[in-house]
Structure 1
Amino acid sequence: MLKMANIELIRKLHFKEGRSIRQLAKDLTLSRQTIRKALQQNEIPTYQRSKPVTNPVIDPVKPIIIRWLTDDETAPLKQRHSAAQIHRRLVKEYGFKGGESTVRRFVRQYKQLKETPNSSIPLEFDPGEFAQFDWGEIIVLLNGIETKVMLFCMRLLYSRKIFVKVFQHQRQEALFQGHADAFDYFGGVPKTIVYDNMKTAVKKVLEGTKREEQEAFIQFRSYYLFDAQFCAPAKGNEKGQVEKLVQTARAQFLVPVPQVSDLQVLNHYLLEQCDAYEETYVPKTKEQVGERFLQEKQQLLPIIGTHPCARKVRASVNSLSLVNFETNAYSVPTRYAGRKDAQINAYVNHIEINIDGNCVAKHERSYEKLQEIFEVDHYLDELERKPKYHPACAPSSKS
């Protein structure tokens, strides 16, 4: 089976560079059938190392090399170690058996890590190259109740074209759905998107600009072929354009506090505001956002399909044929009662419950608490055996 990195490479070469299946098969020495299968992948597999990578040749002497390089920082410029000199000292003083290229590679990597500045993006942007993303928190009156909701904000940096949408929360499924909706609205995908270090995308902040990303986020961005760039910790100003958009959306679109019956009504209104924003002039130019966007849209990556915008959660089915998710319970057919291997695919507006790779139940997602959501058909077999009572007939149930 092809690894994720290989699949991502094949998809980028085909969709970004326009290489044909025949050319890819020749260049990568793979069969055309394998190339086609990679291009059709919707779920890109992930790979995790079971053990950390080790190098028994260089690892024992790394502390020595680092000490010498650290000492060099206070030495005269012309009296500092080169990689070749470090190799000669290691061989002479420590009996090092590795080659000079091994030492040279480690020295280069160490210096790059030390010298790499915090993640930054240029002040001038080419069409289609960059976008920025951020969440903002707002208050709305939802059915007369003051409710905190999250504002998804994305801005293309060349044209300043914007997309904003409200979600109940900022969990991973909302992050993915917001991206997919933004790409559809823009008619394409920016090549690089700038983020802060949100937990729905970043598993761990490493040294410098490196990040260990969440597997689901890697799959999502690899499918759409965009690259992610992350700000330095506590440096939100590195995505100042979208932070300004959050402020603009609050001040211009959401004052006074919106009073709506559901979020779909509010999102329709926000989409109209995004359209109207095209008449705004791009700073330091005589061009409107809409005029620049016509140029930028041509340079966006094409949308090559739809990736499932779901968060995956493992679950069990209890004796009442209910699966617990967050604070609520959802029914599945009674024949699956007791199964411990269910998977919930949580979308923004609905959930799917999968067992043995098949969707066995689909429900509208409830954001209320302590609800039991039943589908009566799930209990028909059991009702025939026990017609007097079943949880699906309970007064508190929904169907």
Structure 2
Amino acid sequence: MKTMVERQSIIHMYRVCGYSKRRISRELHVSRHTVDNILSEYESAIRTDNPEEALSDLLTIQPRYDSSRRRPRRLTQEIKDKIGFCLKKNAVKIATGLRKQRMLKKDIHQFLLSQGYTISYATVCSYIKNIESYKEKKKSEAFIRLFYEPGCIAEFDWGEVLLFIDGVKTKFYLAVFTFGHSNGRYAYLFRHQNTLAFMESHRNFFRDIHGVPAMMVYDNMRVAVKSFVGGDKKPTEALMKMSGFYCFEYRFCNVRAGWEKGHVERSVEYVRRKAFCLTDHFGDIHSAQEHLNRVCMQVNNEQGSLSTAEKTSRLEADLSSLKPFPGNLGCFEVYEYIVDKWSTISMKNVHYSVPD
């Protein structure tokens, strides 16, 4: 569609300059048919009973398509009902504190495809955006993809997830590991985000991959950084113990610079959504962990886009380039306590009796 200025230019060159239609098309780099249509409207306007008013309307009214009769061909009422069902389920999750586990537009599109419907992702996005209750403002962000050698680096981060265990809503912490080369993901559920969970998650990760990456990357989490000394960061005893036992180097991100470990920063959200956006009720934590393991295996084997092309071979390259696995590290902490006059010790504000 030509703009109002382009329409005026065509009519001016034809009426004032006396150019032919072919020359106007060549000068303005527009189609000959477009010039014919606009000049045909002009000639029809000057032949009316009131040519001045018709010509004024032609030159001043912004041209537009008549899209009032257009209707989506693939977006049937049945598909709208399915999308509405997903959005209602998202509203329930948001109301119950499960906002991070709601279905995104891409998940709704995949859900429709799995149900046998043929519809494009753009159509789903356009329909959802037209629902006022589902509009959200998003900030534009830019990311630069970094490339690493196989087995060179792995990133670690924590995330939170709310699950229903035997009907009771329970908060868990998600320990997520991501390879920098292949973007292979591994995740583990814990009830606490403490030092013991930090050590056990690494033990489970190294045991499952049967090796150790050359370097681990962390942000400024308390279980990894003990204190800040000027611009330097002092690691915790647990991190130094694991580094010495498994023989890996470690690196900390700068403050408020999560993009420095961008693989795992997105992996926490991705794994949590893939694993628990549809299924969040389990009998116990063991069944939840088994479900999480299956989802991670599916994610690591998925192929179908440019970002996941050759993912399996890249993950195999990562696993074959790891350092040898030295064995399982003992996950425990040693503390000394003073027995009070009631023959108890106070550990994290909880009193425990001691034998005589």
TM-score w.r.t. length of structure 1: 0.49
Q: Which amino acid aligns with 1:146?
A: K
Report if the CA contact (8 A) 1:139-1:257 is conserved: no
> What does residue 278 of structure 2 align with?
256
Q: In the alignment, does 2:196 pair up with 1:177?
A: no
> What does residue 326 of structure 1 align with?
348
Structure holding more strand per residue = 1
> What does residue 319 of structure 2 align with?
297
Shift of 1:150: 0.5
- Counterpart Cα distance in 2 of 1:244 and 1:225: 27
Q: Which amino acid aligns with 2:243?
A: R
> What does residue 146 of structure 2 align with?
123
Report if the CA contact (8 A) 1:280-1:289 is conserved: yes
- Counterpart Cα distance in 2 of 1:136 and 1:286: 23
> What does residue 140 of structure 1 align with?
163
The SS at the match of 1:174 is helix
> What does residue 265 of structure 1 align with?
287
- Counterpart Cα distance in 1 of 2:266 and 2:157: 10
Higher relative contact order (CA 8 A, sep 6+): 2
- In structure 1, the gaps of 5 or more residues are 1-120, 335-399
Shift of 1:188: 0.7
- Counterpart Cα distance in 1 of 2:190 and 2:215: 23
Structure holding more helix per residue = 2
- Counterpart Cα distance in 2 of 1:231 and 1:143: 38
**Matched ranges for 1:1-399 at <5 A:** 123-208=146-231, 210-256=232-278, 258-281=280-303, 284=306, 287-318=309-340, 322-334=344-356
Question: When the two structures are aligned, how many residues end up with a matched partner?
Answer: 213
1:323/1:138 CA distance change after superposition, 3 Å: same
- Counterpart Cα distance in 2 of 1:328 and 1:143: 27
- Counterpart Cα distance in 1 of 2:145 and 2:247: 21
- Counterpart Cα distance in 2 of 1:318 and 1:266: 41
> What does residue 349 of structure 1 align with?
none
Report if the CA contact (8 A) 1:260-1:266 is conserved: yes
Q: Which amino acid aligns with 1:219?
A: K
- In structure 2, the gaps of 5 or more residues are 1-143
- Counterpart Cα distance in 2 of 1:280 and 1:294: 14
1:331/1:260 CA distance change after superposition, 3 Å: farther
- Counterpart Cα distance in 2 of 1:199 and 1:231: 13
Q: Which amino acid aligns with 1:129?
A: C
Per-residue CA distance 1:156-209 (angstroms, 9 max, x = gap): 11122111011001101000100110111111111111110111111223445x
Q: Which amino acid aligns with 2:262?
A: G
- Counterpart Cα distance in 2 of 1:268 and 1:257: 13
The SS at the match of 1:312 is coil
Q: Which amino acid aligns with 1:134?
A: D
Shift of 1:251: 1.4
Shift of 1:122: 8.3
What RMSD over aligned residues (CA atoms) do the two structures have, in Å? 2.4
Report if the CA contact (8 A) 2:199-2:238 is conserved: no
Counting aligned pairs with the same residue, the percent is 29
Q: Which amino acid aligns with 1:158?
A: H
Shift of 1:151: 0.4
1:305/1:279 CA distance change after superposition, 3 Å: closer
Shift of 1:138: 1.0
Shift of 1:221: 1.4
Q: Which has the larger radius of gyration?
A: 2
Report if the CA contact (8 A) 2:178-2:185 is conserved: yes
Report if the CA contact (8 A) 1:282-1:289 is conserved: no
Q: Which amino acid aligns with 1:303?
A: F
